[in-house]
């Protein structure tokens, strides 16, 4: 979950946190230039409340929160949001226009996914995969194509991944996942009731779960899951293709592969 998502989630928390979160979301650019005293005055809160708020978001204090706000603004400022992820081109576009729009969409998707990714979650996911006895990936449709590509790359590192739904036997596969194994779910919307049942079963066995999704509000996400989020600009049905989601998944999986490669070589 990125910083903006965390702030939005705190809008429904206690009154003090709600006031601070709403103010930062509304005046993000101004807050990055404020002192803690100025923010406290603007939100009618104490300095200690601001510090506790920053710590709840995972920062050491207000200063580190401001640094993250600046980084986020820089990434979003350089991102082209003019291309519709669902209908990036139309029948009036010539070939050059189509190429540019697809390129802009791909670049924008990667930049926005970068803004959402938490490096600690990437580190945790990479370390979890390295120490796991067996790795199972649950993914369907276009997402399974990304999973198979990732599976192929991981062979080069001596890590062999099992596609749980290869023969439509995901329920049986899940039943045989044991402590010490790892389960990865790649699902853009994360709305599958079948996955819900599988995850519930895996949680009872204390299996490590890595959830790769664009839907941070999904009921499939559990507190003990490692969450890797991508940008969610696509609609469920009203779109030409899954351009944006698959670019985002590829970027995230390439990042995960790269981190695992580094860890394996550092430890040699």
Quickly count helices (H) and strands (E) in the chain. 12, 5
pTM of the model: 0.71
At residue 68, the pLDDT reads 82
Q: Are 52 and 10 in contact (CB under 8 A)?
A: no
Question: How does pLDDT run across 170-189, given as a tens digit for each residue?
Answer: 889 999 999 999 999 998 77
Last residue of a domain, one of 44, 77, 110: 77
**How many Å from the N-terminal Cα to the C-terminal Cα in the chain?**
32
At residue 4, the pLDDT reads 73
Q: Which residue has the tokens 């005046």?
A: 27
Asked if residue 91 belongs to a domain, the reply is no
Shared domain check, 256 and 126:
yes
Ranges of residues in the chain whose predicted pLDDT is under 70: 1-2, 12, 74-83, 85-89, 190-191, 216-220, 222-223, 232-241, 267-268
Shared domain check, 69 and 159:
no
Write out the residue range of the structural domain in which residue 63 sits. Answer: 3-77
Question: How does pLDDT run across 227-259, given as a tens digit for each residue?
Answer: 888 876 656 666 566 777 888 899 999 999 999
Phi, psi for residue 167 in degrees, rounded to 5: -115, 25
SS3 215: coil
Last residue of a domain, one of 77, 111, 139: 77
CATH for 27 = 1.10.10.10
Q: Are 138 and 183 in contact (CB under 8 A)?
A: yes
Instruction: Identify which of 195, 241, 238, 233 has the alpha carbon closest to the alpha carbon of residue 214.
Output: 233
**H/E element, 212:** strand 208-213
Asked if residue 199 belongs to a domain, the reply is yes
**H/E element, 67:** helix 62-77
Q: Are 69 and 28 in contact (CB under 8 A)?
A: yes
At residue 239, the pLDDT reads 59
At residue 195, the pLDDT reads 85
At residue 111, the pLDDT reads 83
Buried b (16+ CB within 10 A) or exposed e, 109-124: bbbbbbbbbbeebbeb
115-120 own/partner pairs: CB under 8 Å, 24+ apart: 115/2, 115/72, 115/75, 115/76, 115/79, 116/1, 116/2, 116/5, 116/229, 116/230, 116/231, 117/2, 117/228, 117/229, 117/252, 117/255, 118/1, 118/2
At residue 36, the pLDDT reads 92
Asked if residue 113 belongs to a domain, the reply is no
Asked if residue 102 belongs to a domain, the reply is no
Task: Provide the 8-state DSSP code for 220.
Answer: T
At residue 235, the pLDDT reads 62
At residue 26, the pLDDT reads 87
Q: How far apart are CA 184 and CA 132, in angstroms?
A: 12
Asked if residue 111 belongs to a domain, the reply is no
Q: How far apart are CA 153 and CA 135, in angstroms?
A: 14
Asked if residue 149 belongs to a domain, the reply is yes
At residue 153, the pLDDT reads 95
Asked if residue 89 belongs to a domain, the reply is no
Cβ neighbours of residue 183 under 8 Å, at least 6 residues apart? 136, 137, 138, 164, 174, 177, 198, 199, 202, 207, 208, 209, 210
């Amino acid at each position: 979950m990125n910083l903006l998502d965390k702030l939005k989630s705190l809008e429904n928390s206690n009154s003090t946190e709600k006031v601070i979160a709403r103010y930062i979301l509304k005046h993000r650019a101004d807050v990055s230039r404020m002192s803690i005293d100025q923010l406290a005055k603007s939100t009618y809160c104490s300095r200690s409340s601001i510090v506790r708020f920053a710590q709840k978001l995972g920062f050491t204090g207000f200063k580190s929160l401001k640094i993250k706000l600046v980084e986020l603004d820089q990434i979003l400022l350089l991102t082209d949001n003019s291309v519709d992820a669902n209908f990036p081109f139309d029948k009036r576009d010539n070939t050059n226009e189509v190429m540019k729009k697809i390129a802009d969409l791909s670049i924008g998707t990667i930049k926005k996914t970068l803004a959402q990714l938490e490096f600690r979650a990437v580190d945790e996911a990479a370390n979890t995969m390295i120490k796991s006895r067996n790795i199972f990936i649950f993914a369907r449709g276009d997402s399974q194509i990304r999973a198979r590509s990732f599976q192929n790359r991981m062979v080069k590192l001596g890590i062999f991944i099992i596609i749980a739904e290869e023969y439509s036997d995901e329920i049986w596969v899940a039943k045989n996942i044991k402590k010490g194994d790892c389960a990865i779910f790649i699902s853009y919307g994360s709305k599958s009731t079948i996955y819900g049942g599988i995850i519930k079963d895996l949680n009872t066995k204390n299996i490590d779960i890595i959830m790769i999704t664009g839907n941070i509000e999904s009921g499939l996400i559990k507190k003990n899951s490692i969450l890797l989020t991508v940008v969610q600009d696509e609609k469920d049905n009203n779109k030409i293709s899954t351009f944006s989601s698959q670019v985002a998944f590829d970027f995230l999986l390439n990042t995960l592969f790269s981190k695992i490669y580094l860890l394996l070589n550092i430890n040699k």
